[in-house]
Amino acid sequence: MSSDAEVCALYEASKRMPVEPFRCRLAPVFIAAPCGQVTSAKLDEVTARLKAKGATSEAGFAALAKADTDSKVEAARSGEIGGLAEPAIAPEIRAALKDLKPGGVTAPVRLANGCHTVRFMEMKPASTTPIPFDEVKDQLATQLRPQRMDKARQDFMTALVAKEGISLDEEALKILAVQIK
């Protein structure tokens, strides 16, 4: 188990880092397409309707998403999937959102499962406000365990070598480590 002092030191060191990545509130329209199929009649139809007046407004996009998305979960929520943290957003979609302002709609973005046309609703910037220590104490202690185990193993081996007069062939150990991986 990690000591409270070690956990506190890790907490203090990590306080200066962003605690939470930026989050985007998104509403996609998903059109399923087999891998390798670039377009479909349904995708062309939905794209054309998105270009119609009012279709990219929040209400217009929600109606289109509810009627046309191939995702039952998104259809039930009128397309809205809520606030996603940056790592949860596919890199291709993050790239398409890069230059959009809230209310903007991407061109169809092709992913492995189909095409996603995404309405960018809002963005919450990354947070640098530290999470209270009590909320992360257990997580930090868990994070320290492997480091402590490695140190204990290394200390044990050092003591064993000193006590028993064992010599280790460092080059042979490096070769063996590569073979094990």
Give me the tens of pLDDT residue by residue for the chain, a chain 181 residues long: 457 888 888 877 776 665 677 788 888 888 887 666 656 788 888 888 888 766 778 888 888 888 888 888 888 888 888 788 888 889 999 899 888 888 888 888 888 888 888 888 888 877 777 777 787 778 878 888 888 888 888 888 888 888 887 777 888 888 888 888 6
- How many H-runs (helices) and E-runs (strands) does the chain carry? 7, 4
* Domains of the chain, start order: 4-15+129-180 (no CATH), 23-123 (3.10.50.40)
pLDDT tens-digit map of 67-100: 888 888 888 888 888 788 888 889 999 899 888 8
How much is the pLDDT for 34? 66
The two structure tokens encoding residue 120:
């960018």
Q: How far apart are CA 12 and CA 9, in angstroms?
A: 5
Amino acid at 180: I
| 62 in Cβ contact with 79 (< 8 Å) | yes
How much is the pLDDT for 82? 78
Order across the sheet with 109-111: list the strands: 82-85, 23-32, 114-124, 109-111
If you compute the radius of gyration of the chain from its CA atoms, what whole number of angstroms results?
Answer: 26
How much is the pLDDT for 2? 59
Phi and psi at residue 130, in whole multiples of 5°? -60, 145
